[in-house]
């Protein structure tokens, strides 16, 4: 086929065609730039508004007082901050070791096996299960049996949500450890378990710590799984067997309440929560970039 039959165009037609192509190119480029700006607007709006509203309502009492009764000014969320810490501590205590161990299995034992692939797939699927479903499952498992809400149940719900994230990150990070290091250790007569603990996990530790912190940050803001497990509490409580306050729960309750004073506290709580989470994420970024072995691809 001759070129001329496909492009029977004069010089002006050709120029028009080229113009159209480059116009399309510029249009798409402009669209992409515009979309990015459009997406950055809500982010900046959310963060900006949060800082503006939160900072103007934060005070010392927020960190030292328990919630005041309706109508009384003042009050804080000290019990919710501590309660969140207790629940998250329990969740990390259960979720991180189990998650890391599952990740070790996936990377060091289950590679290329059917069982390994199945576990990996289940972990990914579990990662997408809605938090509220986790809440009612743990309610039926623990709260309904105990006949009362408890901080323990809240911790378990969050721990289950941490496991898939932690295990998948651990696996990915272990996969970046060069095989030669492992073989060198095994060649020295070191048993496999010791090789995994002292060589593989140690080499991959910056990435694994990053993964754990990200999982922690993700569950730190979860409200839905705590609604029917930890339940919330207006007073001081450290008892894992009793309902316990949590920062995200308190923010939710205050945000949907009709009182201005409570709205103010909700903004302050949201700011504290965001600062905690973003602080963790940012720290992790810096830490991961300095680590011996970078996790990213």
Partner 1 sequence: MIEPGLVKLPEMTVPPQDAQPTSLPGAETVPAQPSAIRAFLQQRSSGKFADGAFGALMLVCALSIFAIVLLIVFVLVSNSRLSIHAFGWKFFKDSSWDPVSGDFGALPFIFGTVLSSILAVAMAVPLSLCVAIFLLDICPRPLRAPIAFLTELLAAIPSVVYGLWAVFVLVPIVRDQVGPVLEKYLGWTGFFIEPNFGVGMFTASIILAIMIFPIISSISRDVMKAVPIHQREAALALGATRWEMLRMSVLRNSRLGIVGAVILGLGRALGETMAVTMVIGNHPDISKNLFAPGYTLASVIANEFSEASGDLYLSALIEIGLALFLVTIVVNAIARLLVWAVTRGESARHA
- Mark the segment that binds partner 1 (CB under 8 A) among 7-15, 37-45, 62-70, 72-80: 37-45
Three-state SS string over 129-146 comes to CCHHHHHHHHHHHHHHHH
Candidates 80, 86, 96, 106; binder of partner 1 (CB under 8 A) is 106
Candidates 80, 86, 88, 102; binder of partner 1 (CB under 8 A) is 102
Contacts of 272 (CB under 8 A, 6+ apart): 54, 58, 62, 77, 81, 247
Paired with 244 in beta bridges are: 231
24 touching partner 1, by CB under 8 A: yes
String marking each residue 240-259 x if it binds partner 1 according to CB under 8 A: --------x--xx--xx---
Contacts of 297 (CB under 8 A, 6+ apart): none
194 touching partner 1, by CB under 8 A: yes
String marking each residue 208-227 x if it binds partner 1 according to CB under 8 A: ---------xx-xxxxx--x
**CA–CA dist 207, 176 (Å, integer):** 10
7 touching partner 1, by CB under 8 A: no
98 touching partner 1, by CB under 8 A: yes
Q: Taking CB under 8 A as the criterion, which residues in 121-140 touch partner 1?
A: 121-137, 139-140
Residue with the two structure tokens 């949201």: 270
Number of residues that bind partner 1 (CB under 8 A): 99
Q: Taking CB under 8 A as the criterion, which residues in 261-290 touch partner 1?
A: 263, 266-267, 270, 273-274, 277-278, 281, 285
Burial (CB < 10 A; 0-12, 13-18, 19+), residue 249, is: buried
109 touching partner 1, by CB under 8 A: yes
Query: In this structure, what DSSP letter does residue 69 have?
Result: P
43 touching partner 1, by CB under 8 A: yes
Residue with the two structure tokens 């990053």: 210
Shortest Å distance, C-beta 72 to partner 1: 22
**CA–CA dist 83, 235 (Å, integer):** 10
String marking each residue 54-93 x if it binds partner 1 according to CB under 8 A: ----------------------------------------
| Strand ranges, E, within 73-231 | none
First to last CA, the chain: 46
């Amino acid at each position: 086929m001759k070129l001329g039959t496909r492009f029977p165009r004069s010089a002006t037609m050709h120029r028009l065609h080229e113009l159209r192509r480059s116009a399309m190119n510029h249009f798409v480029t402009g669209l992409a730039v515009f979309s990015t700006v459009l997406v950055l607007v809500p982010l900046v709006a959310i963060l900006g508004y949060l800082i503006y509203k939160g900072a103007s309502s934060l005070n010392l009492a927020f960190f030292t007082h328990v919630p005041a009764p309706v109508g009384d000014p003042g009050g804080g969320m000290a019990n919710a901050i501590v309660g969140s810490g207790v629940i998250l501590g329990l969740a990390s205590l259960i979720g991180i070791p189990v998650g890391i161990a599952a990740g070790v299995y996936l990377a060091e034992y289950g590679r290329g096996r059917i069982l390994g692939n199945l576990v990996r797939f289940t972990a990914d699927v579990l990662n997408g299960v809605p938090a509220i479903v986790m809440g009612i499952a743990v309610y039926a498992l623990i709260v309904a049996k105990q006949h009362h809400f408890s901080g323990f149940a809240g911790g378990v719900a969050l721990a289950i949500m941490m496991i898939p994230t932690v295990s998948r990150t651990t696996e990915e990070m272990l996969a970046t450890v060069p095989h030669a290091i492992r073989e060198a250790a095994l060649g020295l007569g070191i048993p496999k378990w010791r090789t995994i603990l002292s060589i593989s996990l140690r080499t991959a530790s910056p990435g694994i710590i990053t993964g754990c912190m990200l999982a922690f940050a993700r569950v730190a803001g979860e409200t839905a799984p705590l609604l029917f497990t930890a339940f919330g509490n207006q007073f001081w409580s450290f008892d894992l067997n009793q309902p316990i306050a949590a920062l995200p729960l308190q923010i939710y309750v205050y945000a949907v309440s009709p009182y201005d004073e409570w709205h103010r506290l909700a903004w302050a709580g949201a700011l504290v929560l965001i600062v905690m989470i973003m602080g963790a994420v940012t720290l992790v970024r810096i830490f991961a970039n300095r680590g011996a072995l970078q996790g990213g691809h």
